[in-house]
Every structure is written in C-alpha cells, then in structure tokens.
Structure 1
Amino acid sequence: MAIEKALYTATATATGGRQGTAQSSDDRLKVQLSTPKALGGDDGAGTNPEQLFAAGYSACFIGAMKAVSARNKVALPAEVSITSEVGIGPHANKPGAFGIAVSMKISVPGMDRAQLEKLVADAHEVCPYSNATRGNVDVTLTIV
C-alpha cells in the first residue's frame, strides 16, 4: 500500500534484537527489550515488540475513532479505552515463519451500541494500523 505523502515519519533504532534496546531518534522513546519466557527468553524487566505493537495499535485506533466521529459529527465520550492483545506464534500458512494475531476490546461507556458498531467498523477502515495489517494479521474487534 502506498501513501500519497508522508505527513510525519517516526524513526527508531533497535539494537540487539529481542534482548536489546530500542530508541527513537528524538530520544522520547528509550526502552529495554526482553524476550518472554514463552518465546525462550528470560522474561526480563524490558518490554517486547508485541507489547509495543499492542499499545501503538490501541492508541492509533482511538485516534481513528476520534477522526471518524468528528467527520460524522458524532459525539465520542472521553472515556474511550482499548485493550489490545497481540499474540505471536507459528504462521498457519508459512512453515517456519511466525505471525501475529490481534484482539482488541473496545470500551466506550454511554454510547449507543448501533452507533458504536458503525463507528468501530468505519475506524477499522481508516486506521493506519488496520490498513497495514489487513490481509496479513487476524484482527478481532470486540465492543465491551
């Protein structure tokens, strides 16, 4: 998928893989990385790529919901929250490869259910993470 023009470009460097560090070019993000025991690591104090992906996708999806609600002149309560789970494991269709699956639990207290379902569906169409993963990652959206 191509974009017409980059409005913003983030730059980060990882060193040492899953047992290393990652840092953004502006030094706003500096994290120690650790591999979870389930993936053969020591389950150290650092974060991991799946946690970073879960946080980024959740935040981005809320941004997409805000953009869609503003465009449609629909009030979006401030209490929006999304809990994302990112699972990693052997790819179902590529022997030797790994894939991820995402499950998002979307909470918007006080919003009409039918209106929220439409908003979530529309946000899934415009969210950059959704567009980047579409067709490659199983994404489940659940309204709670």
Structure 2
Amino acid sequence: MSITQSDVAYTAVATAENGRDGRVASNDGKLDVVVNPPKELGGSGEGTNPEQLFAAGYSACFQGALAVVAKNENADVSGSTVTAEVGIGKNDDGFGLIVKISAVIPNVDAATAKDLVEKAHQVCPYSKATRGNITVELAV
C-alpha cells in the first residue's frame, strides 16, 4: 500500500556528486561521506559504497520493524542484532542486488525468532520497497 505526500512524516534528502566515485551528503550535514567503488568492482575501495549504505539503512530499518512486531507479540528482542548483506552483480539488465537479512535474537527460541523475522519482513518499509524487485533471504 502506498502513502501519499500528505502522509509523509519525514523526508531524507541526500545529494551525490560524481556518482559511485565521489561524495554523498545529506542536506542537514549529518551524513557526508566519500564513496568509491569497492576493489571487487574495479574501484579504489577507499570510501564507503552505495551497497554499504543500503545495508546500513536496511538493517536499522529491519531492526526497528522487529521491535514493533516483538512488542505486538510480547516477545523479548533485547540484545538482538540484525545484519544485512547486500550483494551486487551482473544480471540481464546490467547490475542487480541481492540481500540476506540475518537476525540474532538471544531471548527467544528458534521458532519464535523465525516467526518474528518473517513478520518483521512484512512490515519493514525497506522490505516492502524491495519485495518483488530483488531476492531477499531471511536467516535466524
């Protein structure tokens, strides 16, 4: 389900200079990083890259969704971590992404952890945005 402009509570704004081999900065100055392609893609690997930034955003967003789901399920996710692995590689259209989301939830059993992660995947805005577009694997 889409939201309308009147539903927007916050808008992040970032501007890139020189694409994957330059700089990205947010309009509020809180993010200002050099980006370079990783060595595996022929770059210097000196700065961060869009895949790392996407992994950081996705893992943080997913952790937030996990907390919301856990609250509704009366589950304890304190001490949990979420790791996003974002892979990039060639496909029929040029390049594509693949993601693996791994959650460690120490205070619940394996079945509960799996259930919580699957439910978080349904409500996480990043998961919704990628659904049907890229492969996202879930692991606990």
TM-score by length of 2: 0.92
Instruction: State the one-letter code of the partner of 2:26.
Output: S
Q: Name the counterpart of 1:66.
A: 67
Distance 1:115 1:100 in 2: 29
**Aligned twin of 2:104:** 107
Return the match for 2:38 from 36, 39, 51: 36
Q: 1:76 to 1:110 in 2, by over 3 A?
A: closer
Whole-angstrom distance in 2 between the partners of 1:15 and 1:76:
43
Question: Which runs of no fewer than 5 residues in structure 2 stay unpaired?
Answer: none
1:86 aligns with 2:86: yes
**Deviation digits for residues 112-144 of structure 1, max 9, x if unmatched?**
22222111111100000000000111111110x
Instruction: Provide the rounded CA distance (Å) in 2 between the counterparts of 1:96 and 1:77.
Output: 39
CA deviations on 1:35-87 (whole Å, 9 max, x unpaired) are 1111111222x100000011110010000011111223x13232111121110
- CA RMSD in angstroms, aligned pairs only: 1.3
- Segments of 4+ moved more than 2 angstroms: none
Partner Cα distance (1:75, 1:121) in 2: 14
Q: Which residue of 1 aligns with 2:13?
A: 11
Q: Name the counterpart of 1:130.
A: 127
In structure 2, distance between residues paired with 1:98 and 1:132: 18
- Name the aligned partner's letter for residue 61 of structure 2: C
CA distance in 2: counterparts of 1:88 and 1:137, whole angstroms: 11
Deviation at 1:99, TM superposition (A): 0.6
For residue 122 of structure 2, give the secondary structure of its aligned residue in structure 1.
helix
Question: Is the Cα contact below 8 Å between 2:22 and 2:34 reproduced in 1?
Answer: yes
CA gap 1:96/1:115 in 2 versus in 1, 3 angstroms: closer
